């Protein structure tokens, strides 16, 4: 009886050890993924040989490669994603993609020369982790902490959310978009319409910069 109990403990310890080793490997994998991909992005942004249009195209392809925009679009709809009409969802996803890339593209000129260092990672559950980084240099006056939410699906790693200044961007967009939908009696089209208006007006704040260093 005692021997059986010891064997059971041994087997459990081995399984536990394997799981921990796997988690550690997954975290290291995710850290490598962020290190490589974020540095690719920084290289695009600081490449002076590229025109603004070329940078924009490269960056758009890059975002499509490392992220899962339809999944993020569904996430930002929050509870309104459940049972949403597929046509409305498709319309929203198309417009959300344009809006999100528009916001980032309007700021591409603000970057260049930054370097990124991975400082650690935490596993939330298998295939879901957060990688912590610090970005230095370039136009940054102070080091900037940036955390990356990485999920692995069907063997492919993707960035699903990014935290800057303590704010998770996709979560922030979800709070805004669900508020718009709530104010319009649960109509997903209302959010699509507001995003379309923003894109048409191309009002992403890029021309409102003030000279802080004055």
Partner 1 sequence: MRIFLRIVALTGSLIALGACSTTNAAHDGDPLYSWNKSMHAFNKGADTVLIKPVAQGYRAVVPKPGRDGLRNVLDNLRSPIIFGNDVLQGKFDRAGTTLQRFVLNTTIGIFGLFDVAKRGGIEKHNEDMGQTLASWGVDSGPYLVLPLLGPSSLRDATGFVLDFGLEPLTYSRFKGRQALLIGRTGLAGLSLREENLEVIDDLRATSIDEYASIKSAYEQFRANEIADGEVQIDDLPDFDEFEDE
Strand partners, 159: 67, 150
From 50, 63, 69, 81, residue interacting with partner 1 (rule: CB under 8 A)? 81
Q: Does 71 bind partner 1 (CB under 8 A)?
A: yes
Residue 137's DSSP bridge partners are 114
Strand order of the β-sheet with 156-164 is 114-125, 128-137, 144-153, 156-164, 167-168
204 binds partner 1 (CB under 8 A): yes
175 binds partner 1 (CB under 8 A): yes
**Distance between CA atoms of residues 182 and 177, nearest Å:** 9
Q: Give the sign of the dihedral formed by CA 111, CA 116, CA 120, CA 122.
A: positive
Span from 7-15, 21-29, 56-64, 198-206 in contact with partner 1 (CB under 8 A): 198-206
Answer whether 69's CB lies under 8 Å from 93's CB. yes
Among 3, 4, 82, 156, binds partner 1 (CB under 8 A): 82
Query: x/- string (CB under 8 A) for partner 1, residues 95-134?
Result: --------x------------------xxx---x-x-x--
Binding flag, residue 37, partner 1 (CB under 8 A) = no
Stretch that binds partner 1, among 4-12, 21-29, 43-51, 70-78 (CB under 8 A): 70-78
Choosing from 147, 150, 159, 188, the residue that interacts with partner 1 (CB under 8 A) is: 147
Kindly tell me which of 60 and 172 has the beta carbon lying closer to partner 1. 172
Exposed e or buried b per residue across 174-200, where buried means at least 16 C-beta atoms within 10 angstroms of its C-beta = beebbebbeeeeeebebbbbbbbebbe
**CA-closest candidate to residue 90, choices 117, 69, 61:** 69
Interface positions with partner 1 (CB under 8 A): 71, 74-75, 77-83, 103, 122-124, 128, 130, 132, 145, 147, 149, 151, 160, 163, 165-168, 171-172, 175-180, 182-183, 185, 191, 194-195, 198, 203-205, 208-210, 212-214
């Amino acid at each position: 009886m005692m021997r059986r109990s010891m064997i059971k403990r041994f087997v459990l310890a081995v399984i536990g050890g394997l799981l921990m080793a796997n988690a550690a490997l997954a975290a290291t994998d995710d850290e490598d993924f962020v290190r490589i991909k974020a540095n690719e992005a920084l290289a695009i942004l600081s490449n002076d040989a590229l025109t603004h249009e070329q940078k924009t195209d490269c960056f758009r392809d890059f975002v499509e490669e490392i992220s899962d925009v339809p999944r993020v679009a569904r996430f930002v709809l929050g509870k309104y994603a459940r049972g949403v009409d597929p046509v409305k969802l498709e319309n929203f996803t198309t417009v959300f993609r344009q809006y999100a890339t528009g916001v980032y593209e309007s700021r591409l000129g603000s970057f260049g020369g930054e370097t990124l260092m991975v400082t650690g990672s935490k596993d939330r559950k298998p295939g879901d982790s957060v990688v912590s980084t610090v970005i230095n240099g370039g136009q940054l006056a102070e080091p900037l902490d940036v955390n990356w939410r990485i999920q692995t699906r069907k063997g492919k790693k993707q960035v699903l959310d990014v935290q800057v200044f303590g704010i998770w961007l996709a979560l922030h967009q979800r709070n805004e978009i669900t508020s718009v939908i709530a104010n319009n009696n649960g109509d997903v089209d209302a959010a699509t319409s507001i995003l379309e208006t923003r894109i048409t007006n191309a009002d992403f704040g890029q021309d409102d910069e003030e000279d802080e260093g004055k």
